[in-house]
Amino acid sequence: MNVALVKPTEQPYGDLFAEARSRLPGDGLVASARKAAFDDFAERGLPHRRIEEWKYTDLRALLRTVNPLAPAPEKATLALAAKAIAALSIENTCRLTLVDGVFAPELSDLSSLEKGVRVQTLRDALGEGNADLLKTKVASDAMISLNTALATDGLVVTVDDGVTLNQPLHIAHVATASSASAVTRSHVRIGNKARVTLVESFVGAEGASAYQVYDQVEVSVGDDTELQHVRLMEDARDAANITTAAFRLGARVKLNTFGLTQGAAVSRYQGFITFAGEGSELSTNGVNLLGSRRHGDTTLIVDHTVPNCISREVFRAVLDDQSHSVFQGRIIVRQIAQKTDGKMMTRALLLSDEAEADNKPELEIFADDVACGHGATAGAIDEELLFYLRARGLPEKEAQGLLIAAFVGEAIESIVDDDLRDIAIATAERWLAARG
């Protein structure tokens, strides 16, 4: 008797690609790169707990399947998206908006692009046959393959040498379609001696539920450039957001990056930061604010491939109810990367007995003249501190709020730009207010 040995989980992925194909830009090399990537994804399937890098974030259990692509946005959905963007109140940025994974010029500030900045959509670039935009060097991972196969649109932004931007560039992701996927890939290429602030935001429009966001952003930073990066993820409470970010730093770069996760039922932000030029400094900071049964994973891989660079990681998680936060931080110091100074500190604050924090710091050091260290803590709110505040008149929730704000403050304070720091604080305050 012949039995078809098809795992039940594999078949839906096959339909997914077949159905998506007509919507995906690019043919020739682009199309074959997509096909190869999808075959790779279909063979691996969603990552699960037996894949070391995904041990704490088992997408087979958490996501089960990949939703079909969202339909292209139309007038009504754009109006909903506009409302969601307004609610974010991130003012005074040059905004480039992706709605359900598709660039929306109506909601973007293309006319106010500053001198020395060029923007093309991924759709157009792939249409021109630029298959390199789908290549990723940092890791081999099922989710990267999925993104390569299905990336519908995104932005290709170039900032010329010597350009100092007055306004932050803001890539805004808005989801309006329920039970659908938005798959995007963007490239940000910054030349030498430039100064840039890049904001990324993720939000769901009113009524959007159970959607999935799969984003990938590749950032290259030229020599002597300063980049400030702020990412705010506030997707719908039942959504998923799986993002890969890759930063490649030239020489004498200063990169300050901050990420706030306070949305989505399931999220994973995996950042790969590679030092490719000497004398660069990285400050990477993050906060996860989670409640109910939500799962938030921040995974950072910092790779020192050259000598004389400095990396600092500060991560905080605040967990309520039955939420689950994962922080995996890996610092790799290659044999050649002498005089590396790398430190990472992660702390979790548990507001409930049922919350879970997994902190996994790792150092992989192959050089012998380095200063590296890491620390991790997890604990409840200090009862003595709480009593001190209550004895001074603060109701319990307010006292907790003040202590939580202080706990995440160290990470949020790392944001240099006053306006963006205030926005991050306001975003964190929305989470606190929602706690009631």
Partner 1 sequence: MMTALLEVKGLKVQVEDNEILHGLDLTVNEGEVHAIMGPNGSGKSTLSHVIAGKPGYDVTGGEVLFKGEDLLEMEPNERAAKGVFLAFQYPMEIPGVATMTFLRTALNAQRKARGESEFSTPDFLKKVREVSARLSIPQDMLKRGVNVGFSGGEKKRNEVLQMALFEPSLCILDEMDSGLDIDALRIAADGVNALRAPSRSMIVITHYQRLLNYIVPDFVHVMSKGRVVKSGGKDLALELEKSGYAQFEDKAA
Q: Are 195 and 226 in contact (CB under 8 A)?
A: yes
The answer to the question of residue 426 lying near partner 1 (CB under 8 A) is no
Q: Are 279 and 307 in contact (CB under 8 A)?
A: no
Question: Is 367 or 416 the residue whose CB approaches partner 1 more closely?
Answer: 416
Question: Is 87 or 406 the residue whose CB approaches partner 1 more closely?
Answer: 406
Burial of 59 (0-12, 13-18, 19+ CB in 10 A): buried
CB of 355 to partner 1, least distance (A): 21
CB of 319 to partner 1, least distance (A): 18
Question: Is 394 or 416 the residue whose CB approaches partner 1 more closely?
Answer: 394
The answer to the question of residue 53 lying near partner 1 (CB under 8 A) is no
Site string for partner 1, 12-41 (x = CB under 8 A): ------------------------------
Please report the DSSP string for 36-57 in residue order. Answer: HHHHHHHHH-S--TTSGGGTT-
CA distance 196 to 142: 31
CA distance 284 to 311: 8
Q: Are 96 and 171 in contact (CB under 8 A)?
A: yes
What single-letter amino acid sits at 308? N
Please report the DSSP string for 107-160 in residue order. Answer: GS-GGGPPTTEEEEEHHHHHHTT-GGGG---S---HHHHHHHHH--B-EEEEE-
Residue from 110, 406, 426, 434 binding partner 1 (CB under 8 A): 406
Phi, psi of 86 (to 5 degrees): -60, -40
The answer to the question of residue 102 lying near partner 1 (CB under 8 A) is no
Residue corresponding to tokens 């990066």: 229
CB of 390 to partner 1, least distance (A): 4
Residue from 82, 210, 402, 425 binding partner 1 (CB under 8 A): 402
How many binding residues for partner 1 (CB under 8 A)? 22
Q: Are 328 and 296 in contact (CB under 8 A)?
A: no
Question: Is 46 or 403 the residue whose CB approaches partner 1 more closely?
Answer: 403
Q: Find the part of the chain contacting partner 1 (CB under 8 A) among 120-128, 190-198, 365-373, 401-409.
A: 401-409
Residue corresponding to tokens 């030092």: 275
Question: Is 62 or 415 the residue whose CB approaches partner 1 more closely?
Answer: 415
Which structure tokens are listed for 226? 């300063």
Question: Is 366 or 387 the residue whose CB approaches partner 1 more closely?
Answer: 387
Question: Is 75 or 392 the residue whose CB approaches partner 1 more closely?
Answer: 392
Stretch 340-399 residues interacting with partner 1 (CB under 8 A) = 383-385, 387-396, 398-399
Which structure tokens are listed for 18? 């077949």
Given the rule CB under 8 A, which residues bind partner 1?
Answer: 383-385, 387-396, 398-399, 402-403, 405-407, 409-410
